[in-house]
Amino acid sequence: MAEAQSTSAGGAGENGNPAQLPSYEEQRRSAPVLLSEEAQRIRWRLNGPLTTAITVMEHPRIDPGNAVFEPYYHGLGGNGVESWHPFSQSPYTTPKVSSVTIWVDPLDEWISHWLQQHQFHVREGDYNPATTRFGPLPGPGEERDDVTSYEEETGRRLEACCGSERPVNKGTKVVVRAATGGFLTIHDFLSTVHPYLMNRRADIVAAMHAEQYRGIPVPAEDGLFVDPMYSNPHSLTLMDEAEWLKNHRKPGLRVAQDAATQARLRHLAPKMRASSEQAIAILQARQRAAEAATRTLSSLGLGDVAN
């Protein structure tokens, strides 16, 4: 896949040309990359075209009973060009990046949930041969990422169990790039990812049903909401409107939660906690490195230079 021709407003590369911004993956190796304050205002329903699916909150946190949502699509301008909410040209992340590879929780975790559920049946011999099918392991040069150690040991691959087909190649490997060669904007992200998710909506619902053994109810297909994670903006979670409102309400406001919302929040809590801990760990590591550098400079009598 071709590299994005991204440039930065600051800094310069060879020959005095603007320096290319790093990708999301490159940037987060050295510092946290967060969802921008503007991008936190996205209200994203996975239903219909981009022109109607996206609205904009006045603030990242709202009072659900009195919230005002601004239209994202502003129609055709006098020159016949589509017009969008001004925040569409704001950066999607902080700091700015040139591209990001997305992760969609239900799709990218689908194979893991499926194997956890069905490989147990095979190990225990508790399966119906009429609804179970095995096949050979992938050959040399073929994708082997989802082959389990048990399958390696037995030399056979579980292809179907309990009448359910193994979700092969159902993950996401979509790279979203800055459209104009600069930083990745909110519109760059939404205009690429929304139609992709709409085309995968049936897969998303099927993947969420694969989690049913965990007791997590699945929203109706036309009631799905997409919510980018603040500390991992490449990661998109899917939920119903009640849960989305719970995530975006102002502190101190109580919102009634049904059983489905409670179950989904319990499932997401460990991942959200791990993301926060990861961001804190990176910040602490950077602080320790800075303190060590200051001590080294001081020992060399260069403390004033560092300041």
In angstroms, what CA-CA distances link 240 with 98, 166, 168, 170? 31, 26, 26, 22
* 98 within 8 A of 6, measured Cβ to Cβ: yes
Give the number of other CB atoms < 10 A from CB of residue 78: 6
Is residue 191 classed exposed, middle or buried when 0-12, 13-18 and 19+ CB atoms within 10 A define those classes? middle
Cβ–Cβ contacts within 10 Å for residue 210, how many? 23
Model-level pTM? 0.74
pLDDT for res 279: 62
Beta-carbon contacts of 228 under 8 Å, excluding residues fewer than 6 positions away, are: 35, 39, 42, 235, 236
> How confident is the prediction for the chain on average, in pLDDT?
83
Average pLDDT for 180-185: 91
Q: What is the DSSP letter of 7?
A: -
Q: β-strand 225-228 against 235-239: which pairing, if any? A: antiparallel
3-state secondary structure of 145: coil
pLDDT at res. 268: 66
Count the Cβ atoms, other than its own, within 10 Å of residue 219: 21
Q: Give one word for 127, left, alpha or beta, with left for phi > 0 and alpha for psi -120 to 50.
A: beta
The closest alpha carbon to 92, from 205, 197, 233, belongs to 233
Q: Angle at Cα 59 formed by Cα 53 and Cα 61, nearest 5°?
A: 95
Domain boundaries, the chain: 26-97+194-286, 108-165
* pLDDT tens track for 248-284: 988 765 545 556 656 666 666 676 666 666 667 666 7
- From first CA to last CA, the distance across the chain in angstroms is 43
Output 112 or 54, whichever has higher pLDDT: 54
Burial of 145 (0-12, 13-18, 19+ CB in 10 A): exposed
Other beta carbons less than 10 A from residue 171's beta carbon: 18
Choice between 179 and 257, residue whose per-residue pLDDT is larger:
179
Taking alpha carbons only, the member of 205, 230, 201 closest to residue 218 is 205
SS3 61: coil
One-letter amino acid for residue 256 of the chain? A
- Taking the CA atoms of 18, 22, 23 and 27 in sequence, report the sign of the dihedral they define: negative
Total residue count of the chain as it appears in this document = 307
Q: Over range 21-49, report the average pLDDT.
A: 96
- Coil vs helix vs strand at 76: strand
Are the beta carbons of 9 and 18 closer than 8 angstroms?
yes
pLDDT tens-digit series, residues 82-135: 999 999 999 999 999 999 999 999 999 999 888 888 888 888 888 888 999 999
Rg (alpha carbons) of the chain, rounded to whole number:
23
> What sign results for the dihedral spanned by CA atoms 180, 47, 53, 228?
negative
Please, which residues bridge with residue 239 across strands? Answer: 225
